[in-house]
Amino acid sequence: MLTCKEFDDFMVDYLGDGLPVWQKFMCWLHVKMCRECAYFVREYQRAIELGRTAFDDLDDQVPDSVPEELIRAALAHRRKG
């Protein structure tokens, strides 16, 4: 079984489907057996979702002082996410 440190090293790939099946299974098994890592995964996923929706209520209003180049870069990055 993986240690918590090993799971931490693989967590981003585990959540992003970037692991071979056997490694994904080992991570899944660790999360099922380790309360702390299960909590960490839930909170990590929650933080990602909050980050994605943080500005949804702004009605796309951007102050005139924000450079157009910065707006385009932020929107492009958000679409990739």
Residue pLDDT, tens place only, 10-35:
999 999 988 999 999 999 999 999 99
Q: Is the pLDDT of residue 60 over 90?
A: no
End-to-end CA gap in the chain: 31
CA 39, 45, 49: angle at the middle one, nearest 5? 140
**If residue 67 lies in a helix (H) or strand (E), which one and from where to where?**
none
Ramachandran assignment for 17, one of left (phi > 0), alpha (psi -120 to 50 degrees), beta (any other)? left
Region class of 19: left (phi > 0), else alpha (psi between -120 and 50), else beta? beta
pTM for this model (two decimals)? 0.64
Do the beta carbons of residue 37 and residue 31 sit within 8 Å? Answer: yes
Task: List the domain boundaries for the chain.
Answer: 4-80
